[in-house]
Amino acid sequence: MEDMSAVVGSTPLRQEREWNIGWADVGPFLALLALLVIGFVINPDFLSATNLGNVITRSAFIAIIAVGATFVISSGGLDLSVGSMAAFITGITIMFMNSMAPEWGLAAIPAGMVVAIVVGTACGLMNGLIVTVGKIEPFIATLGTMGIFRALITYMSDGGTIPIARSLREAYRPVYFGTIGGVSVPILISIAVAAVASFALYKMKYGRKCAAVGANEDVARYSGISIIKTRTIAYAIQGTCVAIAAICYVPRLGAATPTTGVLWELQVITAVVIGGTALRGGKGHVWGTVAGAVILELIANLMVLSDFVSEYLVAGVQGVIIIIAMLIQRFSK
Amino acid sequence: MFKSKLIAAATIGSLLFAGQALAADKKVVAVSIPAADHGWTAGVVYHAQAAAKEINAAFPGVEVIVKTSPSATAQVSALEDLSAGRKLDALVILPYSSEELTTPVKAVKDAGTFITVVDRGLSDATIQDLYLAGDNIAVGRNTAKYMIDKLGGKGNLVVLRGIPTVIDDERIKGFNDAIQGTELKVLDIQYANWNSDEAFKLMQDYLAKYPQIDAVWANDDDMLLGVLEAVKESGRKDIKLALGGNGMKDIVKKVIDGDAMTPVETPYPPAMIKTAIYMTVANLIGQAPVRGTVKLDAPLITQANAKEYYFPDSPF
């Protein structure tokens, strides 16, 4: 971490605005690097291929959802419903696949994935319309849908579990546990999602509209940008991302339960903010967000691999690390 | 599925109305339990409803009403609603929390109702006529005894605990006390919040950290599911035992099938609500004396007796 302040100190003459962008882009990756070094010092096993593979793979859900959240937050919105939505989509997808499996066999898996995407996008669109057309504060609107999705998954499962049919389980497993060219599938999917998202956010007109709406609603309106359309699309993208995460999630434990995705929304928002996107909106940082998701998962992993934190204090130490990371980011500007 | 649920809801609704019409000459037993928000409470709801159905069919003179509440506050309101319109002959309650429910239950008691408390005790033990609970210390102790026996008294263990609560503390205490003086060594113990996803991650981390693990204990079956998936994926062969606790049907099924890694299970059965309801009704109808404290043991579920604990239709 000291390295970073040294870098900051050595470039005092740069224009502030320019530097902000530079720091926000590089900051999360420096933090990631610092964590890896600290981790290695604490326990050399930390850098083993298996451990890093595990940690990055399981950060994929949060990373994929957080990429969607980068759009929502960048456009000045917020979505608290993503964790419950992930559980709901997981439940719907499994129920659909199970009901189609006897007739369609393994074709039920890709069909179920399509259903997941459609349902996810629809859920996101609904959130977006409530916020934009309904003109309800995003916090309250998505707090409401968060309750709705959570209740639906609890109802669908009778409070228990919705397991995927045995006949589909083995065929579906590679979507979480498989590798292509030595890289696990969820990692590849999250890289693909982030690549598409960064293209949309940085190279397409929509991305600039998103940042404009988030940075200053009035100016955006005077420039002829449709606030309603821009924000609604951001929520729909968020829904699609949640669906993609759900598709990767299903084969991991092969079941949806009422506790699936609990508190994911907070991890997602934390990942976005660690990644350098301001919670009040403005420019989004897709790759920073991905790094943020990996950082969160690495911190949790480090807590287990190190021996000096009492089991009772783990959550506290995690909180302290996150706050320190954000403070460094704030004061180096 | 949705349709059948609607019909079921309509049927239950009409039954309730029919019951209310006849309530005057029936003995009323109200059952107040937490709503199904995870596996174990889902099991409680299932068994409470099953008991109500069986008793209402078997004893025309008794009406059992089951009411679920999503929070302690909602449970307090439910108690007021249940006792507002009619006299309750008995109340069977699994309290959300001890402190908040103590006074409201006392109010019901003062109206002359027989009180049965299940699982979580009230702050004032004089309120209850019958107290029925499982034994969390025995859950930990019996699991530990089996491990000691099976591993020949020595080996490396990792433990996953739940959410910081009395239940969790008691299970861990029972376990730790039992392995004291043996050569079983707990390499690590961390919270995984009774959540299968968190348990999956934690187990992956344990596997990365320790090259030799002989046995894993997750003090709840939801967590055990995550543990088993992580172990399976790692391809590690050093883990001889992975045990849980609570009596989830998926795990009891493993015991029935003679699974090598999970050959036994320790029950903390949600079906205890059924025991409590039946005992309460036995007192009302058959004048069977039941006042006192009943502690269900946590005997090991093995292949021999697993059928007794297996409920394929229950959500848990």
Query: Is B203 part of the contact surface with chain A (CB cutoff 8 Å)?
Result: no
Cα nearest neighbour of B228 on chain A? A253
Instruction: Give the best residue of B172, B196, B219 to mutate against chain A (max A CB count within 10 A).
Output: B196
Tens of pLDDT, residue by residue over B90-142, are: 999 999 888 889 999 999 999 899 999 999 888 888 999 999 999 999 999 99
Among A168-172, B11-15, B254-258, name the one with the lowest average pLDDT: B11-15
B312 domain-assigned: no
The distance of A132 to chain B (nearest Cα, Å) reads: 31
Those of residues 234-273 in B touching chain A at CB distance below 8 A are 234, 250
**For A241-278, how does the pLDDT look when each residue is reduced to its tens digit (9 = 90+)?**
999 999 999 999 899 998 899 999 999 999 999 898 88
Instruction: Tell me if A38 sits within 8 A of A30, measured CB to CB.
Output: no
A52-56: which pairs have CB atoms within 8 A and are 24 or more residues apart? A53/A184, A54/A301, A54/B204, A54/B205, A54/B208, A55/A294, A55/A297, A55/A298, A55/A301, A56/A184, A56/A187, A56/A294, A56/A297
| Confidence tier at A9 by pLDDT (50, 70, 90) | very low
CB neighbour class for A11 (10 Å; exposed up to 12, middle 13-18, buried from 19)? exposed
Q: What is the CATH number of the domain that holds B247?
A: 3.40.50.2300
Provide the residue range defining the domain that includes B228.
136-256
Identify whether residues B244 and B293 lie together within a single domain: no
A320: confidence class by pLDDT, cuts 50, 70, 90: confident
Instruction: Supply the pTM of this predicted model.
Output: 0.81
Is residue B188 less than 8 Å (CB to CB) from chain A?
A: yes
Residues of B in contact with A255 (CB under 8 A): 196, 225
Chain centroid, CA A262 distance in Å: 14
**Is residue B100 located within the same domain as residue B153?**
no
Residue-wise pLDDT for A324-333, tens only, equals 777 766 665 5
Alpha-carbon gap, residue A324 to A321, rounded angstroms: 5
Which of residues A16 and B41 earns the better pLDDT score?
A: B41
Tell me if the domain spanning A2-331 has CATH number 1.10.20. Answer: no
Q: Are residues B13 and B54 in the same domain?
A: yes
Domain boundary assignment for chain A? 2-331
Q: Does residue A152 have a pLDDT over 90?
A: yes
Looking at residue A7, its pLDDT comes to 40
Per-residue pLDDT tens over the stretch B215-257: 999 999 999 999 999 999 999 999 999 999 999 999 999 999 9
Whether B129 and B274 share a structural domain: yes
Predicted pLDDT of residue A14: 43
The string of pLDDT tens digits covering residues B64-75 is 999 999 888 889
Within-domain flag for B314:
no
- Residue B44 included in any domain: yes
